[in-house]
Each structure stands twice: as structure tokens, then as C-alpha cells.
Copies of this chain bind each other. A is one copy, B any other.
Amino acid sequence: MGLRERKKEKTRLALLDAALDLFLEQGYEATTIEQIAGVVEVSSRTFFRYFASKEHLALWFHDHSEEVMQAELSARPLDEPPFTSLVHALRATLRDMAESTPDDTERFLKLRKLYDSTPVLVGRSVARGAETEQRLAAEIARRTGRGDDDRLPHLMVAFAMASMRVGFECPINEITDLRELVARMNSTLELVQRSLVPGWDLARG
């Protein structure tokens, strides 16, 4: 990897870390792009060359997680019940999270803490999740040969994403260990699986 690429990656992470720290100090909305860029000593214009928007920075992990999900989904056998495939795809992203570097782990925990004080950010995260939902639902529909009028693919993905969201949110006590969080999300996923009628994802509707 050349010097240029290394420098870019360094700037990218510096912006991310500076932003997370500022967000936690003074709040997400109260933090301006100029401040973030100032800490890293780049211009505001450059900030937008690294992140499409303030929101994209705060939700930097979304794109990666979706890639992991899509990849795992594609790798599942076509004759597997579709919701089972989805659950495997979700588990893959959880594994990916649990195996992340210490730096990334720290970033995750900071972001998790930020969520508690920033409802608007939670909303934006859900919105991004909804976009992913569309793409995953289309993929499920394709894999199972369902038409556009069949609501089950969309419903399956919505349930799957809801499990993750609910698992991610809510615990009042401080989360200091990422594995704890991942375990919680895993157990929520199991709770959801227990709550669904076996074979529900094979019906048509």
C-alpha cells in the first residue's frame, strides 16, 4: 500500500475519532464540521471528500455491515428457509463486530454511548437500515422466486433488522464490553426465532 493510501486512511480515521470525541463532549448537533476538520487540521471541504455527510460519518459501519450481510446471504444454500439464511447473515455481521480491532471496538462503544443522548441519530440509523432492508428484501425475493406483491420477503428482513435494533438499544446500565453487546443482540435474535411459527417464512403472502 502506497504512502498516499496510508495517509488517506490515517486522515479518515483521524476525522472519525475526532468527531466521535467531539460528539460525546458537546453533542452531535452542536458539533460543526469545521470543528472536526479543525482538530485534524484539514479544511471543511476536505471533510466532505472523506465522508458524504456528517451522518455518513456517524454511521460509518453501516455500509460495511450491509456488505457482510449480503455476502453471507449469497453464500447460503438456496434451498435453506429464507429466514434461516437471514439469521445466518445477521450472525455473520455480529461475528464481524466481535472480531474487530481494539480501535474499532472502542469506536463502536463510543457510538453506542452517543446513541443514548442523541435520538435524532438513532432515527438516522434506522433510516439507513430501512434502505438496507429494501435491498435485502429484493435479494430474498430473487432467491426464493417471489413476486413483488409478496410481502413476506420484506417482512422477514424487517423482523430480522428489528431484532438487531432492539438488541442494540435500551440497556440503561453502561456497556463497557462489546462482546456483551453482541451477546445481547444474539440472544434477541434467538428470542425472535422462538416467537415465530416454524415454517412461517415458507408461506406465500
Contact = CB atoms under 8 A, between A and B. Distances in A.
A74 B166 CA distance: 23
Interface in A152-201: 152, 154-155, 158-159, 162-163, 165-167, 169-172, 188, 191-192, 194-197, 200
B127 A123 contact: yes
A119 interface: yes
Contact of A154 (B129, B134, B154, B166): B166
A203 B196 CA distance: 13
Nearest to A121: B127
Contacts of A167: 151
Identical chains in the assembly: 2
- Secondary structure at the A interface, as helix, strand, loop or mixed, is helix
A159 B19 CA distance: 34
A192 to B, nearest CB: 7
B200 A195 contact: yes
Given A126-B127, A130-B126, A155 B149 contact: no
A5 interface: no
A124 interface: yes
Nearest to A171: B149
For chain A, the bracket of interface size reads: 35 or more
A128 interface: yes
A205 interface: yes
A98 B105 CA distance: 48
Q: Rank and list the top 6 A-B pairs by shortest CB-CB distance, nearest first.
A: A123-B127, A158-B162, A195-B200, A126-B130, A127-B127, A154-B166
10 contacts: A119-B131, A122-B130, A123-B128, A123-B131, A148-B172, A154-B166, A155-B166, A162-B162, A191-B205, A195-B200
